[in-house]
Structure 1
Amino acid sequence: MAHTVLIDSNKLKRLREQRVLSQEGLEQACRETKGCSVSIATIKRAERGRTLSQRTAARLAHFFSVPVDDLIIHETSRTGDLPTDETRKSIVLWFQASAKPLLTKVAQKASRFEPYMYQRTEKTLILAFPCSCPEARLFQLQRTLKQICQPSEEHRALITTGMLVKSSPLQWRMTAQCVEHLTRLTGNIPDGTIAVHRTKP
């Protein structure tokens, strides 16, 4: 009988989303990568926190270029997945577009800034990035969006700063104040605008 291991479902999902891949997209990408073929059923099972064979875990680790031990939850660490009160000031990108290809393109380009929070709905994308050198990061994101978005395309964007709270060792979410901040600012952004809002230190 093949040895089974428990995959860290949160980390697997985060790695997948950082590459802007759906579960189906991950299956296809794995299939196209030599030695990494993994079925869609297995991917769904892994993200539900079910056990996988050690061979399958190794394939996923190889695809994401991470050590297999980084994907596996060991017995000594299973009790550590508890909420924390850690907060972090972050650069937050809010982007809205009616065209899904544009939304996907922005997500792919922004992923090179290594976001640690990713949320996407049908028309809206929210990413959070480390806040080191905030002025430089704000400028880089704004320049990247201007290079991607054409004036004729319907889009609105906001780049600002906000506080995130760590809800588990691998997951971050916006604080209530950050959500209110975004809601207030994004309601006044005209179509075709990439706004930058600098908060006071």
Structure 2
Amino acid sequence: MPDKELCCFAIIPDVENYAMLQETPLELVLGQLEPMDLHGKPIADKWQSIKVSWLTVPGERPLLTPDIAAFNATAFAAKTTVCEQLGLHQQESCELLPISVDGEAWSIIHVLTELDAVDEQQSERKIRRGGQFGRGFSKLVLKLNAVSDTPLFRVKGAGLRIFTSSAADSFYQAVQTADLKGLIFKPVATA
């Protein structure tokens, strides 16, 4: 029986307050030959480090540099030393893909684990005009017993979002303990 105090979170990059990463123009040109696929399939064996920079918007003040940053719409990245501090190099739920951020060693945190954890009885899917199910949920409820032992995961049918729980060895607990900045942990209902 899962711990009643255990909860789940959707992990959202705090792009209002912290800078996000983008591929350099050269990497974008080179990447057109083979698009980057960060959708949960292992790619570390064929990965080659890429150069990445902070996204800047002309005319706007630069945002703060986070400890953990948004990379593309589907992943996060952190200094390699931060990844080691969080124990991510030992996790089976993700793989670390090396990148260079303005000459510094960082890693993309590529989440590999996808769980069948949607509580279909309590979740409410978005409905399009015409009565067809749309993408996503107006109310998402996760099965607590399906997520309690996994530090980082995606949820089958819930898009590309990344989740964690509040378990003692979770990504959430590690980030809170280390007081790292750059992410928002949005509570998700569980049953």
> What TM-score results when the alignment is normalised by the length of structure 2?
0.27
Is the strand fraction higher in 1 or 2? Answer: 2
Greater Rg by CA = 1
Higher relative contact order (CA 8 A, sep 6+): 2
> What TM-score results when the alignment is normalised by the length of structure 1?
0.26
